[in-house]
Chain A
Amino acid sequence: MNAELIRVRGLVQGVGFRPTVWRLARTHALVGEVLNDGEGVLIHAQPAAGNDASALDDFCRALRAECPPLARIDAIERSVLEAPLTTDTFVIRASSASQVHTGIVPDAATCAACAAEIRDPSNRRYRYPFTNCTHCGPRLSIVKGIPYDRARTSMAVFPMCPSCGAEYADPADRRFHAQPNACAVCGPSVWLVDSQGARRDPAALEASDPIAAASQLLAAGRILAIKGIGGFHLACDATNAASVAELRRRKRRFGKPFALMARDLDVIRAYCTLDAEEAGLLQRPAAPILLLDVSPKTQATPLAPDIAPGQRALGFMLPYSPLHHLLLQAWDRPLVMTSGNLSEEPQCIDNADAADRLGTLADATLLHDREIVNRVDDSVIRRMAGAPRLLRRARGYAPAPIRLPPGFEQNPPILALGGELKNTFCLLSDGQAMLSQHLGDLEDARTARELEVTLDLYLELFQHRPEWIAVDLHPDYRSTLIGRERAAHDDLPLLSIQHHHAHLASTLADNGWAMDAGPVLGIILDGLGFGPDGTLWGGELLLGDYLDCERVGHLKPVPMPGGTKAILEPWRNLFAQLEAADGWATMRDRHPTLESLQRLGDRPLDVLRKMMARGVNAPLTSSAGRLFDAVAAALGVGGDPITYEGQAAIELEALAAQAMDPGLEGYRLKATRQASGMVLDPASLWEQLFADLEQGVSKARIAARFHSGLSQALGDLAIALAEARAVQRVALSGGVFQNRILLESVQRQLSAAGLETLLQRQVPSNDGGLSLGQACIAAARASRASE
């Protein structure tokens, strides 16, 4: 008989893959066994006596077709066995701990089958908020170590009841080896506390259970803290203006948009335009927050005005845990579901911590006793330039490995520590990159501590022993310090990698660019990154590959008077830009009636001028982000000081979106050749902009002309450089390319010129994607070093 050894590679462990194999083997009358090992899933199979050899082909086809929802098959490799199998059954063989090393899969939203069960009064899991199965439920958020089984998750303290145990043990059951399997008899439970931490009896609110009570409190305009999968949310009725305003006040979050959760797609459709692809994205197991354009006309109950100030998009997600489904059951309008924290802090994950930190923020808290081991924030996606692009990669995506292009199979294991804000770290080995979930701002002490803990967990989950460590070139990033300490402690080589080179390499890896495929041109528009010349970069044209890069062009460097303060106060950048152009005084004299210049005149400009002249805390920067700040300040848009990172640029884009049209003439910017490369000088844009303002041109149109002119100038420069350097591909990355208008305009122009563009997709173009680039650069250098 023809026995075969079938090797399946990909995301095939901990996702119900073996029971699927078992079921299909039976369907196709195969005998043999299936087990997990260090490389994935291994199957020994042969057709049962009297059956056709083609059964094996059919089986492999069926395996691909019926691949479990959370699994990903990268390869099925078949080889013929010499000796026939001597069994007449097909069994699932237990794997020993040492054999399994393929980490852990992301948390997944409640599947349709589980969602139906909790709504079915006859089901034993009716209204049970921790219902899950092999195809859904928590993973990364509850895991403490490997191998991934119940004993090493926060479910260990809930021994399964006989019914749950039977499901867990039955390969034919949807809950076979579902580690967090539970029911109301044996599993975690939920309860409600008031702001003092005292339990509230649902019956006192005439509610059937704590979730129904919570829903009623929300309907009454209360603000609730809700413990979910990867952390706490703060929730309120998104159509209740008073509640939303109060939430902003308590959370001290003054401008940054709130995410929304809606019961179903119909509720979302009442507020936003939604096409089939967007609907599909929302419904994926990852259940991300998706940024959607606001519908021009809607009959729905209007949302509170300050859900997303200055925006024309809303961030929506669907319920992704049974608790959310139950909570939103009665809601035909959205809930605000924002992270449970004070602004700038990481969200709470712990009950005691929540009592401490959320007690004053929430009127009541919906708690449960399943411990959240790892904070996993909601992921955020925006569709731009024809594809969904991750802006924050966390729940539902991390820690799924990113497959790397050819060339990354042989290098030593690498650890890259990422940036300072939006931090992620990356483990690279065996041709795969394991990126941590979004961790956040490392100046925050909790986040900085969490990074160390999460890093140690990932090192264990993926059995990763780094041999090289990569960090940013910035000497003071906390991630740089951690990398330096770990490298010193373990006596490992440490590579300091320029910020924008890492953005470029991240884009290459994201697009499957092989290690030795040669250089591309990169347009990297960013906030700030430390440059090798001691200035701060952020509006760069780089020519490079994974190994090295050359700065072939950049925005003209301008001082940032006050350093970090200039990031928070856009007027400083406007002043610096005007001084670098025709001079502030000249501009004021030419346009004496302009309010924005008068406003600027009231600032302590003399001190700033001296700071810039004497180089007192006025570092030079070629940052595109700071240029956006300056334009926003000139228009009086976006807050001064800003209330959240990137606010000026984000609001400027929303404004421009109202007036963009293909025929619009942009403000012209001039490029000149200098020793440091082609230099794009924004000086000329100011006179055009102020002339428009003086003539009463709308701010929207001015914002649009700025976007149009900048993208035109960058595109022209890139096309010229690509031709001069004989490259056909241009990578677009950096946080400023989260701006859809800019991204799409530049891409359109480059495509029209016959250039191929490489855009980020699997990882963010902001600093959340930095660690991937750092890791790939380190891998390339390690490979070269070993040659």
Chain B
Amino acid sequence: MSHGSGGRAMAQLITELFHRYLDNALLAQGNDQALFSPPPGRLVMSTDGHVISPLFFPGGNIGSLAVHGTLNDVAMAGARPLYLAAAFILEEGFPLADLARIVESMADTANQCGVPVVTGDTKVVERGKGDGVFITTTGVGVVPEGIHISGDLAQPGDAVLVSGQIGDHGVAILSKRENLGFETEILSDSAALHELVADMVAAVPEIHCLRDPTRGGVATTLNELAHQSGVGMQIREEAIPVRPEVMAACELLGLDPLYVANEGKLIAICPGDSAERLLAVMRAHPKGKDAAIIGEVVEDGLNFIQMETRFGGSRVVDWLAGEQLPRIC
């Protein structure tokens, strides 16, 4: 693949790829924009730039991830996603076959999710000025009547739930990228959660917060929510689901799974007396079958995420500045 005129040829090729795989009426119009009438209700919109190494990993690739990531961000408002847009930045020389795999996977993913990619763009940058491929996706969705979900709505007495085992994505990426060679291959949990969310808000419209614990993991997401809402949380280490193989990898790597990224999990906060109902709904959905109530929201001027450890201790799960650096002397 080359820059300049070749780049143009390249972009042409990609457009063809898109049209082949992402085939839908809006895209087929061939305009620089997609034209549609919004359904009734409030619209939400979200955008996310996807940069990942390696591009192909156990359980997904950058294409499927770019669809899941943005759909999930839209869904975390309690919304039903309608449309996606995608912009590609390709590095000159990026293998065409790889690109085709990515676009195909993206298309498959979008199709499975029932959310079409209705507009897109591609640019090619000089060799050395990109890292293979970057994909930015934007999503639009509509929020059902009576749903008010926001990070600043957690209240003391609310329950904190997680939709399944944590840490899979981060460990999968790390072990693949660094070729760490664990005995059992760990798959990324990359998945779209909007159908799970649709069931959840239909059954429990009083949900206060939803957020997907991506970069920085569950620990970072809980801290964000606690600060936004001006509350604290009390969680129980024992209640937090982690796959044994992920736990074993984390122990060997010295990582705390609470800080490891997820791409197919969500944190939900709802009134305490709705928690069991919400849990049942989540568990009834395949993407929430291992959901758990992991703690509750408490009043706390210091906005601590406080975790009762397996041995009955109580530690602060802090918001870290960067990597997990040793703190003990």
Contact = CB atoms under 8 A, between A and B. Distances in A.
Interface string A245-289: 000000010000000000000000000000000000000000000
A642 B315 CA distance: 19
Contact of B315 (A444, A475, A735, A767): A444
A476 B315 contact: no
Interface string B251-268: 111110000000000000
Contacts of A735: 329
Contacts of A445: 304, 306-307, 314-316
B314 A563 contact: no
Interface string B287-329: 0000000000000001010110001111110101111111111
Interface in A518-573: 526-530, 536, 560-567
Interface in A400-427: 419-422
Nearest to B253: A617
Given A452-B302, A475-B321, A607-B181, A560 B313 contact: no
Contact of A606 (B181, B323, B325, B329): B181
Given A444-B314, A445-B306, A481-B318, A616 B252 contact: no
Interface stretch (B33-41, B172-180, B236-244): B172-180
A352 to B, nearest CB: 16
Nearest to A481: B318
A474 interface: yes
Contact of B254 (A527, A564, A767): A564
Contacts of B329: 419-422, 499, 526-529, 625, 645, 735, 766-767
Tell which of B174, B316, B318, B320 has the most Cβ of chain A within 10 Å.
B316
Nearest to B321: A475
B254 A345 contact: no
Given A445-B306, A476-B325, A561 B254 contact: yes
Contact of B320 (A420, A476, A564): A476
A252 B254 contact: no
Given A342-B313, A735-B329, A449 B302 contact: yes
Tell which of A564, A614, A767 has the most Cβ of chain B within 10 Å.
A564
B304 A563 contact: no
A694 interface: no
A478 interface: yes
A611 interface: yes
Contacts of A565: 251, 253-254
Contact size range, A:
35 or more
A474 B253 contact: no
A476 B313 contact: no
A52 interface: no
Nearest to A446: B314
Given A443-B327, A528-B329, A604 B252 contact: yes
A576 to B, nearest CB: 12
Nearest to A527: B329
Contacts of B313: 342-345, 444
Contacts of B251: 565
A448 B304 CA distance: 10
Contacts of A766: 329
Contacts of B314: 345, 444-446
A422 B329 CA distance: 9
Interface string A439-479: 00011111011001000000000000000000000111110
A71 to B, nearest CB: 36
Nearest to A561: B254
Contacts of A444: 313-316
Given A442-B316, A445-B316, A563-B326, A476 B321 contact: yes
B327 A536 contact: no
Nearest to A420: B327
Contacts of A61: none
Contacts of B316: 442-445, 448, 478
A687 B31 CA distance: 73
A562 B306 contact: no
A607 B252 contact: yes
Contacts of A345: 313-314
B315 A563 contact: no
Contact size range, B:
20 to 34
A625 B321 CA distance: 25
B324 A617 contact: yes
Contact of A611 (B178, B306, B311, B326): B178
Nearest to B306: A445
A610 interface: yes
Tell which of A252, A607, A645, A767 has the most Cβ of chain B within 10 Å.
A607
A563 B325 contact: yes
B327 A474 contact: yes
Contact of B325 (A452, A530, A561): A530
Contact of B322 (A475, A562, A607): A475
Contact of A610 (B181, B318, B320, B328): B181
Contact of B326 (A422, A446, A564, A616): A564
A342 B312 contact: yes
A645 B328 contact: yes
B328 A616 contact: no
Contacts of A442: 316
A619 interface: yes
Nearest to A569: B254
Interface in B116-159: none
Contacts of A616: 174, 178, 180, 253
A565 B252 CA distance: 8
Contact of B328 (A420, A607, A614): A420
Contacts of A562: 252-254
Interface string A603-624: 0101100110010110100000
Given A448-B316, A528-B329, A610 B180 contact: yes
A610 B179 contact: yes
Interface string B214-254: 00000000000000000000000000000000000001111
B254 A563 contact: yes
A252 B326 CA distance: 23
B254 A617 contact: yes
A437 B252 CA distance: 37
Nearest to B304: A445
B251 to A, nearest CB: 7
A539 to B, nearest CB: 13
Contacts of B311: 252, 342-344
A613 to B, nearest CB: 9
Contacts of A478: 316, 318
A421 B326 CA distance: 12
Interface string B79-121: 0000000000000000000000000000000000000000000
B326 A536 contact: yes
Contact of A614 (B178, B182, B312): B178
Interface in A210-267: 252
B302 A611 contact: no
Contacts of B302: 448-449, 452
Interface of B: 174, 178-182, 251-255, 302, 304, 306-307, 311-316, 318, 320-329
19 contacts: A342-B311, A344-B311, A421-B328, A422-B329, A443-B316, A445-B306, A445-B307, A445-B314, A474-B325, A474-B327, A475-B321, A476-B321, A527-B328, A536-B326, A563-B326, A565-B251, A567-B326, A567-B328, A617-B255
Given A445-B304, A526-B329, A607-B252, 19 more contacts: A344-B313, A345-B314, A420-B329, A444-B314, A444-B316, A445-B316, A448-B302, A477-B327, A527-B328, A536-B326, A562-B253, A564-B324, A566-B254, A567-B326, A604-B252, A606-B181, A610-B181, A625-B329, A767-B329
